[in-house]
Chains A and B, each alone.
Chain A
Amino acid sequence: MFQAFNRIAAIATKELIHMVRDRMTFVSLLSVTIGYVIVFGYAINPDPRHIPTIVVDHDKSEFSRLYKAALQQSVYLEIDQRQLTSDQASEMLRKAQTSVVVEIPPDFTRNLLRGLPAQILVEADATDPVSLNGAITSTGEVARQTVAHLLRKDGIEATFTGEPKLEVRVQRRFNPQGEQTFFIIPGLVGMILNVSLLVMTAMSITKEKEQGSMEFLLVTPTEPWEMIVGKIIPTFLVGVVQVSIILAIAFLLFKLPLTGDPLALIALLLAYGITTLSVGILISSAAMSQMQAMQLSFFYFLPSILLSGFMFPYSGMPKWAQIISQGLPLTYFVRGSRGVFLKEFTLVDMWPHLWPIMLAGLVFGLLAVKSYRRTLN
């Protein structure tokens, strides 16, 4: 028994020495762990506040002014101060430039005072069906309080025989049934591509280094870009197969609609796929072993999963986390993908989400070619 303990201790000690001596892995593991815990601890909030909201006021009454002012006080909402039309607001909702649109019809106050049903229309971007619940509830709650306050203040309350007939009609747009799968799957396509393409590419060049075959390849007339493209093509084909499988399952099993232009989806998938492959090549150029490549890939995944809006709402993040999020290609993919599946995105609608991904791909691609070592030094 004592000898077994000695052997276990010897193995554990040896493993610890390996870890500590692999400086890059050890230091990055510790620093990234600490950094990530702090960053994600602050950044992730599944019940977001300050949801971008537009109030379209056709009533222009004391109620609508008070209501807007009261909404502004709600922690759940961030009211856009611009005067926008219904169409403008609706388009902004479609393009994910706002999340909630509150519309007060022209006859709201008149109907209210006459004891007729007075409606407030709340349109919410239901591509993320859960995270806007607080904001939606808040619009109704604030409306009821404002009406009560107004009636009390003007002494009209006594003239009512019953309750004021306030109706808050909530329209969950783009995902009326509030299907959680419709929220997850468009982002999941990007996430799966992220994991598989990145790891496969990152491993492929480091494998050559570890096997020792890189030394031979460097003596052949093979140029860095030839090597990189040659490495990317098979992985890209694997990505195509994967996407086909994911889409088949999404359409057939989960009944996910494709409301937008299929070309916009293809453009998004291509741009995102190529960018992910470039990141993979960059990682494999930097890493000296497959283990390091794996770790660097993981460090890239984690912020992508947590800060891209794939799992946790973008609007729930503090400003600084939103800035980080805007540096991640998956953020744009998730928005573009949800747009094309659920919000009738055309190629033109897709462009604002497409070019940042393409730019990232270009930057990562150039860095990968530049950092690819032509010598063993």
Chain B
Amino acid sequence: MEPARSSESELVGERLACRRGERLVFAELDCRLAAGGALVLTGSNGSGKSSLLRLLATLLIPDSGELLWGGVPVAQDAAHYRAQLHYVGHLDATKPALTPRETLGFWATMRGTATPAIDAALADFGLGAVADWPCRWLSAGQRRRLALARLVAAPAPVWLLDEPTAALDRDGEACLAAAIAEHRAAGGRVAIATHQKLTLADADIIVLDDFAAPPEAAVAALW
């Protein structure tokens, strides 16, 4: 169609709408994430930050609208698009009985990464000293760091982070900021849902409250 669509490896959401149960969370939302770009999603509780991220991660299907990767609808080749993205949600996906090293190795294997940078990832997030402890001994912040270390262990161009700084201390936030800066410098893209002040250079900001569906529309859609 129009030339803007065909730009290589750009993530574009067009007129996205998301429905959770019977409630239309947001509608008519456009977003664009180019190489090296950053998208900060803010908004009040329940405004749909997490839903938008899960939608971008193909874990939710948009009620209407379309998601395009490199100009191609994501639905056409979901497996290809999923290989491009990292999703770090609220939950850390760690197992109490596994060590951080095993956890990173396992998730890198699941992504099909042959040579994961596990030691670098552990070092980047300050987990070197606890790398061989079972995760049940880790604090909430350390488990959070471990979830974020997945980003470094197996590279992928798109990072989708849901409240990544929750439970992180100041040093952890610095680790994350450094990882994001390095990722963007290499042409990576990142979308972050947060309600904290996060210092990201020239990031696009989407305030989810601006796209809240009017209540009557929700009722009309329901009946």
Q: Do A and B interact with each other, yes or no?
A: no
